[in-house]
Amino acid sequence: IIFLVIFALMIVLPYGAAAMMGGEHHVFGGFLLNPLDGNSYLAKMYQGAEGGWRFTLPFTPEPGEGAYIFLFYLFLGHLCRLTGIPLIWMFHIWRVTGSVFLLIVMRRFFLFLFADDGKSAWRALLLAGIGSGMGWTVFAFEVMTGDFWVAEAYPFLSSYANPHFPIGLGLMLLILLFAMEGKKDYWQLVVMALLLGIIMPFGVAVDCMIFAGLAAVDQIKKKKVNYLPLILTGVFGGAIIAYQVGVTIWDPVFSAWNAQNVTPVTAWWDLLLSFSPVLLVAIGGVWLSRKDMLETKAFVLVVWLAGAMMMMVLPVNLQRRFVLGLFIPAAGLGVYGSKKIAEHFKFNRDRLYKIVLGLAVPTNVILLLAGVLGALSKNSSIYLTRAEHEVMLWLEAQPGECLVLADPKLGMFVPGHSGCRVMYGHPFETVNADKEEEKVESFYSGGLSVEEEWGYLVDNGIKYVIYGERERALGNPKV
């Protein structure tokens, strides 16, 4: 309970500080880590708050017919409509609640894996909960490794970023526990697979990979194999994925959006540094116990880690999505490995664990401090000026649909804070993003003739043009 409270305070207090630091001239936008995606989630919630279940792209002038995707954030928006809770409050309520849910499930997960060693279970929970990689060692050289921004891989970073990552990771672990504990109420597995498919679709792929790997090993060992967890997770969770994939193929708007949604895995040295020291200790421990590792419950962590590494080299545009929760098996094996290494080399086990934990924490400390420093400097990616905030409130009060032209960086805020669409606001969710951003900048910089500027406004059906500090920094349009 003490750990849960401390963890919750760690992921809440920087946001509270940023909200209070706005002063008279600035308003906190609500996001400290990856505000680009944070504002896109808020825009999705806004559509739900307006009663919609069919998502349309809010960062592009032609939204299309929409589809039943991003249902989790649409659902949160509906909750806001029913309860009157502001969007950003609902987002963070579920973020913190989801984080507590993840920690509770992780505790149960590690207690199952280390049933005969409660000390190791607790250490695995602590390391997985607050640990990260060693990107801090190169941070001073302005090198930003994955442990600073690939939020879905790390429980702490996931909890700091949004609600769907920790909830999705918790569901992944629950599904694994269901199978490993040999439960037979398969309707529970079906429900969890459907929820995982809706909230975090790639989690279904990772769980199925783990089930397939375990089944293959059991088949080789000629043990009785239970394929039902794999089949049910794949069929019901996969049905959600199949619909989403179909949408990105057959809907021209979502197809153009998906073509830009490229998330390659980081470089090998980045990956190694981002998961060290736990990865190195994990590999060492697994090697030392390779003869009897197959017979331990912790073998599932080996399958998860090795399988994810193989999936990350698949020739697809979304390789990085397969790192979902990867620090969880790395941390578990890191604790397991530190124990085996200490036994083999007659080293103090407690001291080795403390060294690993000490090296794994600084990155997250830097992240927390960076959020506070960003707030102190009134970073324009996380703050609106008071005038910009008033513009958002005014736009929100206008009747009917509206398409807004704004500075590309301000366009990130517009849909989630006003409900209006923008010509450009997101490098993935704006269709033909590079061209649209270039057109917006050309308009504000005065690079177009008067006739071209009027044609741009009229042809696109732009209803409102924002011209504030950010736009003046780009130049002066001629109209």
Q: How much is the pLDDT for 209?
A: 96
CA dihedral for 189, 190, 191, 192, sign (positive or negative): positive
Q: How much is the pLDDT for 390?
A: 97
Q: How much is the pLDDT for 437?
A: 95
Q: Which residue has the tokens 């409660």?
A: 118
Q: How much is the pLDDT for 478?
A: 83
The one-digit pLDDT tens for each residue of the chain (479 residues) are 999 999 999 999 999 999 999 989 999 999 999 999 999 999 999 999 999 999 999 999 988 889 999 999 999 999 999 999 999 999 999 999 999 999 999 999 999 999 888 999 999 999 999 999 999 999 989 999 999 999 999 999 999 999 999 999 999 999 999 999 989 899 999 999 999 999 999 999 999 999 999 999 988 887 788 899 999 999 999 999 999 999 999 999 999 888 888 888 889 999 999 999 999 999 999 999 888 888 888 899 999 999 999 998 888 778 888 999 999 999 999 999 999 999 889 889 899 999 999 999 999 999 999 999 999 999 999 999 999 999 999 999 998 889 999 999 999 999 999 999 999 999 999 999 999 999 999 999 988 999 999 999 999 999 999 999 999 999 999 87
Cα separations in angstroms, 43 against 16, 57, 369, 461: 21, 9, 27, 21
pLDDT digits (tens, 9 = 90+) for 218-271: 888 877 888 999 999 999 999 999 999 999 999 999 998 888 888 888 899 999
pTM metric for this prediction = 0.95
Q: How much is the pLDDT for 292?
A: 82
